[in-house]
Amino acid sequence: MKTVIKNVLLGSVAGLAMVGTAAAADLPVKAKAAEYVKVCSAYGAGFYYIPGTDTCLKVGGYVTADVYYTDVKFTERLNGFDTGAVDPDGESYFQTRAAIQLDARTQTEYGTLRSYIEARFEYGESYGFGQNANTGDAGLVFSDNSINDAYLKFGYIQFAGFTFGKATSAFDFWAGDGWLGIEPGNYYSDVTPNLVSYTADFGNGFSATISLEDAYARESNIDNYIILDGQQVPDIVANIAYEGSWGAFKVSGAYHNNGDYGILPYGGDAELDPWYVTGSDDGWAVLAGVRFDIAETTTLYVEGTYAKGASGYLGLASTLPNVDFYGDAVGGWYIGGALIHYWTPTVFTGVVGSYTESDSFSTGFFDSASFSGYNVGVNIGWQPVKGLTLALQYDYLNADWDYAGGTTFEDFYTASTTADQNRIMFSAKRSF
């Protein structure tokens, strides 16, 4: 009897054990601990480790929404007398830009390996009304402000002092800081070409850079001046710079190779063969700029540039030819800057502008031309919360072409074409 009872008890225990095992099999398996994103403090705020790597990544961007009102007037004169004017009604239009920024950094035995990307997406439309005016031979063409574009503003790799990719030119310094909005001012150098550069850091804020840069970034066909050759030698750019507690300065220079051009005199017949000239008179440019940081509330920029045979370094690639009718290099210069002051931590004002002027150059056998212009602006901004800027800006632009020519005293003439632009902008920008 005891044996029977013992067998029954053992069978019951075994059955319960089997039931327990089956029930345990139905229970959920404990998940592996989640791998949370870890803050990376080595490169400042906003960086996080990419899970499973030692690379730190910062994701950011901004959205800018602008509203413009522009009024442009073109005036033509001959021998000192007004001969005509184009004065369309003013135009209002909208522009929007969205940008994504990615900054990835990894510490290596050679220093920081960095990759940076800024992709921009822009939209605006005016359907060509109002300000799309072309003054013909003068080459003063103002955009009709229609854009629907996606493009790469920056995309570069930095490693052991080298920079590879699309980055700020080693030549530029001020680059228009102080101008607000999607459509900034004119007459200064601000280019982001494809380049290969090396920067040597000497310590105590001093550095020097040598750079090979894509010359196409500073070239353009303009009226009667047609580029015939492709790039053969990239632009060679070098600078010496300093960055300190009081501000910064830079001195830079550039060599620009000019190929052959096809040229027609202003007013020439486009059906005729152009006058071929050599661009062997190569171009060059020099820049000197300084920035003063005053009492943590005020920033002052002053910059001057002279270029000969390299109008792209004046911000005039689509306005001024590199060589004239006889193939001689065309010279010009600009001076510009900005004063930005914070009255409170959230309210600031700015004054910004530049003036440019070219040397006289030949446009035909007996004809010459020169260009001058200036653009000045004032703005006020308010930052009600972190990352949001609301701003109002007014600027005035003047562009003037002067001509002279004639084979005899009786035929001698002077002429000019002038553009005057008044523009008001409201801008809202959210950065994150």
CATH of region 58-431: 2.40.160
Q: What does the alpha-carbon distance between residue 406 and residue 429 come to, in Å, rounded to a whole number?
A: 53
Q: What does the alpha-carbon distance between residue 52 and residue 59 come to, in Å, rounded to a whole number?
A: 18
Q: What does the alpha-carbon distance between residue 236 and residue 232 come to, in Å, rounded to a whole number?
A: 12
pLDDT digits (tens, 9 = 90+) for 330-348: 999 999 999 999 999 999 9
Question: What DSSP designation does 40 have?
Answer: -
For residue 270, the model assigns a pLDDT of 46
pLDDT digits (tens, 9 = 90+) for 369-415: 999 999 999 999 999 999 999 999 999 999 999 999 876 656 677 88
**DSSP of 255-310:** EE----EEE--TT--TTSPPEEE---S-EEEEEEEEEEEETTTEEEEEEEEEEES-
Q: How far is CA 204 from the centre of its chain?
A: 29
Q: What does the alpha-carbon distance between residue 66 and residue 428 come to, in Å, rounded to a whole number?
A: 6
pLDDT digits (tens, 9 = 90+) for 154-185: 999 999 999 999 999 999 999 999 999 998 99
Q: What does the alpha-carbon distance between residue 111 and residue 117 come to, in Å, rounded to a whole number?
A: 20
Phi-psi region of 122 (alpha: psi -120 to 50; beta: other; left: phi over 0): beta
Which residues of the chain have a pLDDT value below 50? 1-25, 27, 128-144, 267-271
Q: What does the alpha-carbon distance between residue 194 and residue 213 come to, in Å, rounded to a whole number?
A: 6
Q: Is 39 within 8 Å of 48 (Cβ atoms)? A: yes
Dig out the tokens for 93 from the structure: 């239009």
Dig out the tokens for 256 from the structure: 């620009």
Domain boundaries of the chain, sorted by first residue: 58-431
H or E stretch at 322:
none
Q: What does the alpha-carbon distance between residue 371 and residue 53 come to, in Å, rounded to a whole number?
A: 56
The predicted model scores a pTM of 0.84
Of 205, 200, 212, 114, the residue nearest 171 (C-alpha): 212
